[in-house]
Every structure is written in C-alpha cells, then in structure tokens.
Amino acid sequence: MPSTLDQIRAEIIAHQSNAWARELGYEPLYTAAPGARIAVVGQAPGRKAQESGVPWDDASGVRLRSWLGVDDEQFYDPNVIALVPMDFYYPGKGTSGDLPPRKDFAGLWHQRILTELPDLRLTILVGGYAQKYYLARRAKPSLTETVRAYAEYLPSMIPLVHPSPLNFRWQTRNPWFEAEVIPALRLLVSGALDGATAKGTRP
C-alpha cells in the first residue's frame, strides 16, 4: 500500500504542469519522510543536481552542510532532514542565471508534504523566494534585512542567504552573518536533531 508521501510524489510527476519535465526525463527533486526533524526550503534544483538526481549536489550544498554543522549522511537522510525547494524541477536558464521557481508550485505541494512530517521542529529558509513565501508580511523589504532579523523568526524558522560561492561579496559586506547567524543556526540544528540518529531512529 503506497504511503501518502508516495501518492503525493506520483501526483507531482503526473501533474499536467510538469509534463515538460516528464518529457525530459526529470524526476521531482526533493526528499521527505515522516521522521524528518528539519526542512530545508531552497529555490529550485540547479542543472547539475537535476541531472544527478541528488539535491544540493554542488558547491552550494557543501557550504550549506558546513553552515548547518551536519555531515552528508544526516543531510541526505529524509528521516532526519527534508529537502523541499520552492520548485522540484530545474527551471532552465535565463538571461542572468537560472530561472526562478514557478510561483504557484509551492502552493500546490508544500503544505501537503509538510503535513506528513509530524516531527518537524525547524524550517530553514534559504534565499528570498522561500522567505517571501513562508514569512509573507513578516519578511523585511530586502533579503539582507530579513536575514539580519533572524531572531524574530526563531525558534521554528530561520532565514539564510543562499550558500552559493557567488555570494562571497555579500558575506564580505555582512560579517555579522558568519559571526552571529551561523552559530545560532548550528545551535538550532543541533537542538532539532537532539536524539535523532541516522536512518531516522526516533528517541
């Protein structure tokens, strides 16, 4: 008997809005299981991740795991961390980088998936698209202001800048991020995972 999460995945694949992705052989790139303690909400898969079938399969993912203070095994265990981007498919290339996630995608699927994660303790909002969607009117006028005000969203959510190496200038201009936000993030992650082990064994 398929689980509810399996049924949702099948619906995502079959949905008419994703017919183009089926034709390209793309699978929806997200992970989720009932034991997940943390959800990481990013933008959308990059081309490399979509082709490999591994979320965050790039330098950004390496840096994100470092920020979180977790290893690969924890990060890719869906019973520990759910990886639920704003769009589950690579959106294609635009004039100045990858295209943004589709505006209506998260509204169709996120709540249904997250409802199946009863142990969720922390949602990490990576980048402006996730922050605007999940924080709505609580988000500040800019990403920098939202991330700077991270304490306002604790303990259930924390906003982050995207960990892309291309954002090194932003981090240089905003040293408080490394000094304040990353230590707070690691404490939250450690607390959320307290008692959890690899393979999702619950205390």
pLDDT of residue 196: 61
CATH fold, domain 24-194, is Uracil-DNA Glycosylase, subunit E (3.40.470)
pLDDT of residue 65: 98
Q: Which residue has the tokens 């960990």?
A: 163
pLDDT of residue 12: 98
Whole-Å CA distances, 85 to 2, 64, 101, 150: 23, 14, 9, 20
Residues 29 and 100: their CA atoms lie apart, in Å, by 15
**Weakly modelled stretches of the chain, pLDDT under 50:** 197-203
Whole-Å CA distances, 46 to 38, 78, 111, 186: 22, 20, 23, 25
Residues 128 and 136: their CA atoms lie apart, in Å, by 11
Helix, strand, coil % over all residues of the chain, rounded to 5: 50, 10, 40
- Structure confidence by residue, pLDDT tens digits, 47-64: 889 999 999 999 999 999
Question: How much is the pTM?
Answer: 0.93
Residues 158 and 154: their CA atoms lie apart, in Å, by 6
pLDDT of residue 199: 43
pLDDT of residue 93: 86
pLDDT of residue 7: 98
CB–CB of 98/92 below 8 Å? yes
pLDDT of residue 5: 98
pLDDT of residue 2: 77
Q: Which residues of 172-202 are buried (b: 16+ CB within 10 A; e: fewer)?
A: eebeebeeebeeebeebbeebbeebeeebee
